[in-house]
Structure 1
Amino acid sequence: MKNIIHTEEAPAAIGPYSQACLVNGTLYISGQIPVDPATGKLVEGIDKETHQVMKNLEAILRKAGMDFSNAVKTTIFLKNMDDFAVVNEIYASYFDNGQYPARETVQVSCLPKNVDVEISMIAFTN
């Protein structure tokens, strides 16, 4: 059975998709961009953008009764691979236990709303 996960603590979807879907203990989180859900505005600067994306992911995980320790797979989309080191450092800081999920990072030519970073995630719970 599929359960749609939605929280006001993360930005609303900007298209015909859900923030996340929970299926048999697996949570599929749509790509999150650096929109501050309190204001609906984009944050700017790769460091602030990355923190906002991670906060958005965290809010969705929390709504599903999970946290970053449940993450098993992420995909990071960057507009500029020169931002990799900054994004990587901030991303790593959200995983307290050092048990990082599997991941790939790819450079893309453009992202929604012309942001610099987008991250999607798959998480699992028993």
Structure 2
Amino acid sequence: MTAEPGLVRELIQLDSTPQNAPYSAGVALGELVWTSGALPIESDGSVADDFATQVRAALRNLETYLEAAGADWSTVVKVNGYVADIDQLPTLNEVYTEVVCRDGAPARTTVEVSRFRGAVKVEFDAVAHRRQR
């Protein structure tokens, strides 16, 4: 499958993405960008124990992906959330509303997953419209 004439696929790379990782932080095609999953890993490689702190860190990392692609929270059209324990949804909603919903709430799906690696309890990815460059 090829893109429409004039549309160029752009791989969004970050300095923090491992060099041997078989993925990009995101992929842009025309005016849309799809991000990879953003984990709650701090810049020093640590993961907090507290769920709310993890949500905030994962959203901060997702925001970095969006900004690298020329998008921001106001241009996000869809967010997918993955949680280790769906009973944590009220906490997720509280932090998510504070961070993401300043310009209205994008569409969202949140699902419980059976396993994360290590101490990770949450992950997010998004689809956004890119600002004019």
Q: What TM-score range do you get, normalising by the shorter chain?
A: 0.7 to 0.9
Over residues 75-123 of structure 1, what are the superposed CA-to-partner deviations in whole Å (9 max), with x where a residue is unaligned? 11111011100011101112212x2111111111012335111111110
2:47–2:119 Cα contact (<8 Å) kept:
no
Q: Which amino acid aligns with 2:11?
A: I
2:49–2:119 Cα contact (<8 Å) kept:
no
The yes-or-no answer on 1:105 pairing with 2:105 is no
Alignment map for 1:1-126 (pairs within 5 Å): 1-8=8-15, 11-12=16-17, 15-36=21-42, 38-94=43-99, 95-97=101-103, 99-125=104-130
**Counterpart secondary structure, 2:102:** coil
Aligned length, in residue pairs: 122
- How far off is 1:43 after superposition? 2.4
Q: Which amino acid aligns with 1:86?
A: T
- TM-score, normalised to structure 2, is 0.83
Q: Identity over aligned residues, as a percent?
A: 27
1:111–1:118 Cα contact (<8 Å) kept:
no
**Counterpart secondary structure, 1:3:** strand
CA RMSD of aligned residues (A): 1.7
- TM-score, normalised to structure 1, is 0.88
Structure 2 runs not aligned, ≥5 long: 1-7
Separation in 1 of the partners of 2:28 and 2:122?
Answer: 24
- How far off is 1:73 after superposition? 0.6
